[in-house]
Amino acid sequence: MTQITFVRHGQTDWNLHRRIQGTTDIPLNDTGRDQARRAGEELAGGEWDAILSSRLGRAHETAEIIAEQVGLSTPSILDGLQERAHGDMEGMTFDERQAAFPGDTVVPGLETRDAVIARVLAALDGSEHVTNDTRILAASHGGVIGSLIRYATGGEQPTAGQVIANGSYHDFSWSAGALTLVTLRAIEADKDLPPVRLPQR
């Protein structure tokens, strides 16, 4: 069995302004770097065999910061851990997305959650680092981690209102190609983001 702890990358300016990033390569901001350092400090108490990363810069820089904190060498990029592609709505705020693609409108280029899960599981299955009795850190993205949590819990988690916050980390076990959620650290609100402004009634 392999323990895999997925870490969501630190904050970017697009996270701060609640813009949909997808595969657009937006860098960490200073808050995001602080979040990565904080996660690394918390994870430094464990024994880790390797650290993997999405190829997107915000995740890779997060992994580099954490690797230094926990005493690992340079992170290995694992294709398949990149964020869910959001197609034509990348760069939009959620309000802009609703205006451009209301209701059940198909968004060109939007990757399905099933496709995300399939590529992540295939990437883990093919990784030389994911072997029996290893403990792996993997820096990835909110859409990926949320999809894996839903997959591993049959859709029961995360519950409505729970947030996979920037810099948060969540534990899974991997055995014979099966992924199981061990610890979910979702929260009700990301304290490093401004509160959502609800529309006036």
Residue 198 is assigned to a structural domain of this protein:
no
Asked if pLDDT for residue 57 goes beyond 60, the answer is: yes
Catalytic residues: 9, 83
Q: What are phi and psi of 7, to 5 degrees?
A: -115, 130
pTM over the 0.85 mark: yes
Fill in the amino acid letter for 31. Answer: T
Confidence of residue 160 (pLDDT cuts 50, 70, 90): confident
Q: Please, what is the average pLDDT of the chain?
A: 94
Closest by Cα among 186, 86, 72 to 137: 72
Domain contains 191? no
Strand boundaries in 78-145, DSSP class E: 135-140
List, for residues 93-149, the tens digit of each pLDDT value. 999 999 999 989 999 999 999 999 999 999 999 999 998 899 999 999 999 999 999
Does residue 194 form part of some domain? Answer: no
How crowded is residue 116: how many other Cβ atoms within 10 Å of its Cβ?
22
> Considering the domain boundaries, does residue 73 fall inside one?
yes
CATH of the domain at 138: 3.40.50.1240
Residues 86-93 have a mean pLDDT of: 98
Q: How many domains does the chain have?
A: 1
Q: Is residue 24 part of a domain?
A: yes
Q: How many angstroms separate the CA atoms of 1 and 7, rounded?
A: 19
Position 193 in a domain = no
Give residue 171's pLDDT band: very low, low, confident or very high (50, 70, 90). Answer: very high
Structural domain of 108: 2-183
**Is 36 inside a domain boundary?**
yes
Q: At residue 200, does pLDDT exceed 60?
A: no
